[in-house]
Chains A and B, each alone.
Chain A
């Protein structure tokens, strides 16, 4: 089997299922809009807007509400394919424009938080795996604390001390990398806590497996066993949890962005849900689905990179 084929087949297969998921999400959002009782125009506008008859007529025309449902459905799909996410009539802007400036800060925050969470997880796990009971108890307790403490409270605590009392880091806004530190840390801590527990458990399991004895019998130090052999084994469950991590990041972004007064999709979502700006909410749902699809594709590829046993066609997965 050629290298190209080995990688092309799983990639194409997973891309195909990703497209199916996105199509499903678009279909569900279409159905919800049309199955919710009441006039579609009212749903699109939201409850608090007093719209002029001209605006109502415009919505009717934009959505083609006079056409049969299948035609409307196909038109919406076609619009999505060309990148047209619809229009927010509350803000009087295309949804694309509403989101455009906000994606960057959120992606920035999510990436920074992911890197931090992985760093926390692997450092904590490697430092304590295979160690005595005391070190593990301390690490385990700290992780439990990180997981249990609500992230917004952690955020408030962090900027109260670090920003107001000691003026070390800016508390709000998105000016420069320094402003990213606190929100990213707030978002990363609970995720890092969970991942650290998973990584350590996997490391401990791998350290007890027969191949670890072979490596030690070659004269390797415990650190070599950990870093060169078992760490790769521990990467597998982390990849598995990536879906959960993306969910936590999206959910956490809503709170973190609000607490730290950062721009971003989380804040857009809060505003849109509060004011029932349905086109924006729908677009965010589709965007989250797309994020999940992309991440899961990457995760599946990561599996193949990490574990050669899964590369054989028809085996595993």
Chain B
């Protein structure tokens, strides 16, 4: 196979050239070499900040203003692009190399119709006659599996579901018939069943002879589609190899850590304390004609974790908000500590609000950006306590030191921010922590640490957790009992072992099946399952 893309010794630097004022130059990509052949998929994996997206943009000559790119060889479809000027680069973009950028919602122009977005590459490169463009758009939408393509072409991105939006973005990248497709995190933020469909679509493009450069932090996705994988760490490729071999026997310590972190291990659990802290009894809520939550019931005991899993729009976040008393159910009741909760007026609820605390997916937007860590945490500490001492105690509890006290949210990493959010939630010594997708925005290794932390906190303090997530592997890792939600209803409930190892409801089965085809839940081949667990619990669906 001839190489469609050959990269040798690619370097990308940002910042002042030399001795300039301000920040020191950042060497974002160092000495990176790889190649992609027609019909082949190469995956670039690494954690956030490792330079994956910068590599992708450099391949299009779009590394950004202030970026300095150099390479010994940069060949795209037989052309040496190292000396390319603006006009030559434009003839490559879209026509030879297509880009599926991260997150279709923001990567499509929100003010233009899907059809216009897909037509644009054809107009720019003149690959279709003007009169034929409309038909070509419909044809492309049909090719990427969008139902009712004529109608969809006239809609705007926000009117489509996440999966259809992603398909439309892929269609626009394919529109001018590029030979190489760069897909940057194409399945992140999608539900598992949709993830599987998008991966199938990319696999089809690959079979048609398109070269595919896949950028992902998700090893499950990579295992499913990539022929070869390159592991990127701080801008450097530390290891390249055939995907199955690399995932089964990573040689570099960083690859090993990455593979290990992608498998979430449950530590042995201490027996649970009894005593019900939260009782949700047949709560329902509808918005107009749409039912968001229908007759959902469950109880949460002290020291226990109940996992609430479902796809987006299933109503799981609404249940979390009903439990915290941020929404009032139209029927049914919520009781906290055995006393009425949901039917109380807010004035009576307020003194007891400290008992139930909420952790968001994105602590960055939940924090006041001008507050320091110490102020963020101290705000939640009851007045009569010694705030300074308690703040330090809480920081220690979540594994941060006093050096973090005076930082502001933008001076912390994603994982540190989520630790601060946990400390803030624990400040008033709550009996219940409601966690809404708390690890969804985190890298695998950080995600594992935060889950360990929540476990540890629970063991020490006996806090009950209501844990909401779309991610089956996370739910399995953290939960004692699991509720599966679909279309506003709980369709299955049971212990984590029952639900994951012997699902009864067809929807749960399809969810688990999709997770393993998408690979997000399956351990990469060859990785030993967690040691010391009984065979029944270790048998992951595969």
0/1 interface trace, chain A 213-229, chain B, CB 8 Å (1 if under):
11111111100100001
CA–CA, A218 to B125, complex, Å? 9
Does A219 lie within 8 Å of B124, measured CB to CB?
A: yes
13 further interface pairs, Cβ-Cβ under 8 Å (given A229-B109, A229-B112, A309-B156)? A210-B101, A211-B110, A213-B57, A213-B101, A214-B172, A217-B94, A217-B99, A217-B101, A218-B94, A218-B175, A219-B94, A219-B95, A312-B158
CA–CA, A233 to B110, complex, Å? 9
Does A213 lie within 8 Å of B111, measured CB to CB?
A: no
Does A219 lie within 8 Å of B106, measured CB to CB?
A: no
Chain B residue nearest in CB terms to A232: B111
**Across-interface contacts of B93 in A (CB, < 8 A):** 216-220
**Across-interface contacts of B107 in A (CB, < 8 A):** 210-211, 213-214
CA–CA, A211 to B159, complex, Å? 17
B120 within 8 A of A: yes
Give the interface centre of B57, B111, B159 by most chain A CB atoms within 10 Å. Answer: B111
Which B residues, 144 to 162, have Cβ-Cβ distances below 8 Å to chain A?
Answer: 156, 158-159
Question: How many A-B pairs fall under 8 Å by CB?
Answer: 81
B62 within 8 A of A: yes
Does B106 lie within 8 Å of A210, measured CB to CB?
A: yes
CA–CA, A221 to B62, complex, Å? 12
B102 within 8 A of A: yes
B60 within 8 A of A: yes
**Across-interface contacts of A308 in B (CB, < 8 A):** 110-111, 156, 158-159
Which A residues, 118 to 142, have Cβ-Cβ distances below 8 Å to chain B?
Answer: none
Does A217 lie within 8 Å of B60, measured CB to CB?
A: yes
**Across-interface contacts of A233 in B (CB, < 8 A):** 111
Ranked 9 nearest A-B pairs via Cβ: A217-B99, A218-B94, A219-B94, A219-B93, A218-B121, A308-B156, A210-B106, A219-B90, A211-B109
A209 within 8 A of B: yes
A307 within 8 A of B: yes
**Across-interface contacts of B102 in A (CB, < 8 A):** 210
B309 within 8 A of A: no
Which B residues, 19 to 69, have Cβ-Cβ distances below 8 Å to chain A?
Answer: 57, 60, 62
B92 within 8 A of A: yes
**Across-interface contacts of B101 in A (CB, < 8 A):** 210, 213-214, 217
A-B contact pairs, 27 of them (CB 8 A): A209-B106, A210-B102, A211-B107, A211-B108, A211-B110, A213-B62, A213-B101, A213-B107, A214-B109, A216-B60, A216-B93, A218-B93, A218-B94, A218-B120, A218-B121, A218-B172, A218-B175, A219-B90, A219-B92, A219-B94, A219-B95, A219-B125, A219-B176, A232-B111, A308-B110, A308-B111, A308-B159
B169 within 8 A of A: yes
Shortest Cβ distance from residue A200 to the other chain B in the assembled complex, whole angstroms: 16
Give the interface centre of A218, A229, A308, A309 by most chain B CB atoms within 10 Å. Answer: A218
Shortest Cβ distance from residue B93 to the other chain A in the assembled complex, whole angstroms: 4
Contact A309 to B110, CB < 8 A, known contacts A215-B120, A218-B93, A219-B91: yes
Interface footprint category on A:
20 to 34
B98 within 8 A of A: yes
Chain A residue nearest in CB terms to B110: A309
**Across-interface contacts of A211 in B (CB, < 8 A):** 106-110
**Across-interface contacts of B191 in A (CB, < 8 A):** none
- Using a CB–CB cutoff of 8 Å, the interface residues on chain A facing chain B are 209-211, 213-221, 224, 229, 232-233, 306-309, 312
Shortest Cβ distance from residue B470 to the other chain A in the assembled complex, whole angstroms: 22
**Across-interface contacts of A306 in B (CB, < 8 A):** 111
Does A216 lie within 8 Å of B121, measured CB to CB?
A: no
Shortest Cβ distance from residue B125 to the other chain A in the assembled complex, whole angstroms: 6
Does A220 lie within 8 Å of B111, measured CB to CB?
A: no
Does B57 lie within 8 Å of A309, measured CB to CB?
A: no
B103 within 8 A of A: yes
Does A219 lie within 8 Å of B121, measured CB to CB?
A: yes
Shortest Cβ distance from residue A312 to the other chain B in the assembled complex, whole angstroms: 8
Chain B residue nearest in CB terms to A308: B156
**Across-interface contacts of A221 in B (CB, < 8 A):** 86, 90
Chain B residue nearest in CB terms to A230: B109
CA–CA, A214 to B109, complex, Å? 9
Chain A residue nearest in CB terms to B111: A232
**Across-interface contacts of A214 in B (CB, < 8 A):** 99, 101, 107-109, 169, 172
Other-chain contact of B124, A213, A224, A307, A309 (Cβ < 8 Å): A224
Which B residues, 116 to 150, have Cβ-Cβ distances below 8 Å to chain A?
Answer: 120-121, 124-125
**Across-interface contacts of B108 in A (CB, < 8 A):** 211, 214
0/1 interface trace, chain B 61-103, chain A, CB 8 Å (1 if under):
0100000000000000000000000100011111101110111
Does B111 lie within 8 Å of A307, measured CB to CB?
A: yes
Contact A220 to B90, CB < 8 A, known contacts A213-B107, A229-B109: yes
Shortest Cβ distance from residue A234 to the other chain B in the assembled complex, whole angstroms: 11
CA–CA, A210 to B98, complex, Å? 15
CA–CA, A309 to B111, complex, Å? 8
**Across-interface contacts of A217 in B (CB, < 8 A):** 60, 62, 93-94, 97-99, 101, 173
Shortest Cβ distance from residue B133 to the other chain A in the assembled complex, whole angstroms: 14
Shortest Cβ distance from residue A226 to the other chain B in the assembled complex, whole angstroms: 13
Chain B residue nearest in CB terms to A213: B101
Other-chain contact of B109, A215, A219, A312 (Cβ < 8 Å): A215
**Across-interface contacts of B103 in A (CB, < 8 A):** 210
**Across-interface contacts of A215 in B (CB, < 8 A):** 109, 120
CA–CA, A233 to B98, complex, Å? 25
**Across-interface contacts of B175 in A (CB, < 8 A):** 218
Chain A residue nearest in CB terms to B90: A219
Give the interface centre of A209, A215, A221 by most chain B CB atoms within 10 Å. Answer: A215
CA–CA, A218 to B94, complex, Å? 4
CA–CA, A229 to B113, complex, Å? 12
**Across-interface contacts of A312 in B (CB, < 8 A):** 158-159
Shortest Cβ distance from residue B12 to the other chain A in the assembled complex, whole angstroms: 15
Chain A residue nearest in CB terms to B118: A218
Shortest Cβ distance from residue B169 to the other chain A in the assembled complex, whole angstroms: 7
**Across-interface contacts of B94 in A (CB, < 8 A):** 217-219
Contact A218 to B176, CB < 8 A, known contacts A210-B101, A213-B107: yes
